[in-house]
Structures are given as C-alpha cells and as structure tokens.
Amino acid sequence: MEKPEKLIIDGKRLDGRAPEEMRPLKIEAGVLKRADGSAYVELGENKVLAAVYGPREMHPRHLQRPDTAVLRCRYNMAPFSVEERKRPGPDRRSVEISKVTRQALEPVLFLELYPRSVIDIFIEVLQADAGTRTAGITAAAVALADAGIPMRDLVSSVAVGKIDDMIVLDLTKEEDQWGTTDMPVAIVPRKKLVSLLQMDGNLTEEEFKRALDLAFRGCEQIYQAQRQALKEKYAIKPEGE
C-alpha cells in the first residue's frame, strides 16, 4: 500500500469517518457450541473470535497454584487474516499481545475462587485491519461472561491515535501504518480503571489527555454493545418467540 498524501481531507478520514467516530461494530455472544463461552466481534474489517474454557483443573499439575486459578491467553492470527500471508504459529508480537490481553482481563476476574484451576482464553483473528488486540479483549470479556464466570465488570477496549496532527478514534490499518501514533486502551468501565495502555509513537501531555478521554468515550460505546450482545443471548423471551 502506498502512503496517501493525507489521511484527513476536509475533516473526514479516508473511509469517510469523522475523527471521533468508530467503525461499525457488531458483537455476538455464544457462537461456539463446544467452548464454555465464546464471542464474535466485527469492528470495521476486523473479524475476531474468542473462546473460553474453564475454570477447569490445571494440567500439567506442576503449573497449578494452590491459592488461585491461572488465566492463560493465546492471541493468534490466521495466516489468511492479513494482506501478506502470516506465517502460522506464535511470534514475538502474538506473545506480547497474549500477555497484555491477560493483564487487561485479570482485574475483573475472581481467580482466587478457583485454586489449582486454569481459565483458558483463545483469541483467533480471522481478518485484520488494525485494532485486533483491542477487538480481541472486547470479545474475550464477552466470552468470559458467556462462560458464566463471575466478573466484577466487563472490559471494553479500543485504540485511539494521532493522524495528520489530529486525535482520532479507532484507527484503520492505513491510519495505523501512516499515522503518527497508535494507542490501544482497555477500560473496566464501571470503575473507570485502565487495564491496558500501550503507545506506538508519541503524544504531548495535552494530546495524551485528549486521546485518553476519547478512548473512554469509545469504550463506553463498546461497553453498551457488549452488554446488548449478552442481553440478546440471555434475555428471557416471552413464550412463542
């Protein structure tokens, strides 16, 4: 892809969005029969599945912890998910994303309720267009709730950044690649806790504050969509529907 001359023209981004506008979002809970919990998220061109297993006894046993469950996360990109085929298997990037995903989700779980156990989260990126780590966290939170695992709250996640000197919500691949800064954020909405904050590029203190505020507002929209997806799956429907 060639570098576009400008990423914002007449106040609009190349895909027609306003700077503070998110891509179309679709969330579905409980999409996989054999997982204990699952969710599917589409955010623009991103397509991400999350599957949760557990809590179940940890094997091998030497990895068990006597006082708590262990949360394990695996973020994986399908070879066909990106423009240039991704070599299958873990790499530095996916190991890092798996780790920060685990750290983003841990604060809402009561792991101490399940000693010697493990909760596994598998995140599979089927199609990528920047923002897959945040879409993965959003999907995983819904999948954990769908598994019936007690949680303090959901976790909602989106990236913000800077392109053409403007602070924007939810960067596309083009904007991520040619923009100045990409800042993925995850939030525990009710407590307004930040559980993931990474930054590729740089921002002034004032820009950072505006970007974080925008991330909070974006996560609020995501939170509503997550709750709606769970309600759609679990609301008791009147008979005959």
Q: Which residues bind ligand UDP (CB under 6 A)?
A: 82-83, 86, 93, 128-133, 173, 176, 182, 184
By CB neighbour count within 10 A (0-12 exposed, 13-18 middle, 19+ buried), where does 112 fall?
exposed
Which is closer to ligand UDP, CB of 78 or CB of 82? 82
156: phi then psi, degrees, rounded to nearest 5? -115, 140
- Nearest-angstrom CA–CA distance, 25 and 142: 14
Which is closer to ligand UDP, CB of 30 or CB of 131? 131
Q: Cβ 184 to ligand UDP, closest distance in Å?
A: 6
Q: Cβ 128 to ligand UDP, closest distance in Å?
A: 4
Q: Cβ 203 to ligand UDP, closest distance in Å?
A: 16
Cα dihedral sign, 140-144-232-49: positive
Q: Cβ 80 to ligand UDP, closest distance in Å?
A: 11
Q: What is the DSSP string of 38-64?
A: EEEEEETTEEEEEEEEEEEE-SSGGG-
Which secondary structure element, helix H or strand E, spans residue 187, and what is its range? Answer: strand 181-188
Nearest to 108 by CA among 214, 189, 183: 189
Which is closer to ligand UDP, CB of 23 or CB of 86? 86
Which is closer to ligand UDP, CB of 118 or CB of 203? 203
Q: Cβ 200 to ligand UDP, closest distance in Å?
A: 7
Which is closer to ligand UDP, CB of 131 or CB of 189? 131
Q: Cβ 34 to ligand UDP, closest distance in Å?
A: 26
Cα dihedral sign, 25-30-34-37: positive
Which secondary structure element, helix H or strand E, spans residue 223, and what is its range? Answer: helix 205-234
Which is closer to ligand UDP, CB of 36 or CB of 170? 170
